[in-house]
Amino acid sequence: MSLSIIGNWKSNGSLESNKSWIHDFKYSINDSEISNVAICPPFTYLDQMISLTSNLGLSIGSQDIDSSSGARTGSISVNACKDIGCCFSIVGHSERREIFDESNMFLRQKLITAQESGFQVIFCIGEPKEQQLAGTTNNFLEKQIIESLSDLELLDGFTIAYEPIWAIGTGEIPDVKDINATHKFIKDIVQSSSKNNFTPNVLYGGSVTSKNAEVLFKEKYIDGALIGGASLNGKEFAEIVNIFKNRGF
């Protein structure tokens, strides 16, 4: 299953606000067919959200997984996520890379562990502001891809999320033509470096809202979005989904 619109709630939500989110989303979505839409709440709310979304068609994923299991205090294993009903996980979000110092090789092991269990992965890459200003974005992204994915056989549903670090939560996004070109570059590098010449869907992330979603989704190589702040509002998230569904191709 390929996921197109994913909400990453990060460390937000509560038992009551989650119920309100579901109500707002349910009565704002135009199309009952939303099987390619997902949200990633904090681990503590996974069970609640899986229960609340059981009749909506929304997929529920984790925001991260560990590369192993057992004596790993505080970590969440792939099997634990699967056992509770998750079908995928985000891996390599820039906040995990920066705050928890997760390297490309460490994220590669997470991906391998997930794929060995048949668990779908949304793999995040993205450049900091200095790389964007220097015009070396492609070099930076290629290094992330090669070190993390080279010579791996990627499974159906494996997806890249391209999130320029400088655009996350800032309200600033690159020119959509530049995003589209970067997405094509990412597809080409993944295809040429993976063992099975896999061409992934590539989602865009970084200050996506209902105000800029339409122009983003008109681009050929933008296959959807990984949404942070805007996903915390059920109505706003539903509107982005509605825009994606009506993009015209």
59's enclosing H/E stretch is: strand 59-62
Q: How far apart are CA 124 and CA 226, in angstroms?
A: 9
Expressed as residue numbers, the domain containing 227 is: 5-245
Q: How far apart are CA 46 and CA 55, in angstroms?
A: 15
Below-50 pLDDT ranges, the chain:
none
Q: What is the pLDDT of residue 165?
A: 93
Active-site residue, from 93, 95, 183, 239: 93
Q: Which residues contact 121 (CB under 8 A, 6 or more apart)?
A: 88, 89, 90, 91, 110, 111, 114, 115, 158, 159
Catalytic status, residue 95: no
The size of the chain, in residues, is 249
Active-site residue, from 95, 102, 127, 163: 163
Q: Biggest alpha carbon distance in the chain? A: 50
Assess contact for 120 and 157: CB atoms under 8 A: yes
Domain count, the chain: 1
Q: How far is CA 135 from CA 127, 153, 210, in A?
A: 11, 31, 29
Catalytic status, residue 93: yes
Q: What is the pLDDT of residue 169?
A: 87
Instruction: Give me the phi and psi of 61, to 5 degrees please.
Output: -125, 165
Reported as a single tens digit per residue, the pLDDT across 116-136 is: 999 999 999 999 999 999 999
Q: What is this structure's pTM?
A: 0.96
Q: What is the pLDDT of residue 248?
A: 67
Provide the 10 A C-beta neighbour count for residue 151.
9
42-70 burial: b if 16+ Cβ within 10 Å, else e: bbebbebbbebbeeeebbbbbbbbbbeee
Domain CATH for 21: 3.20.20.70
What is the residue-averaged pLDDT of the chain?
A: 94
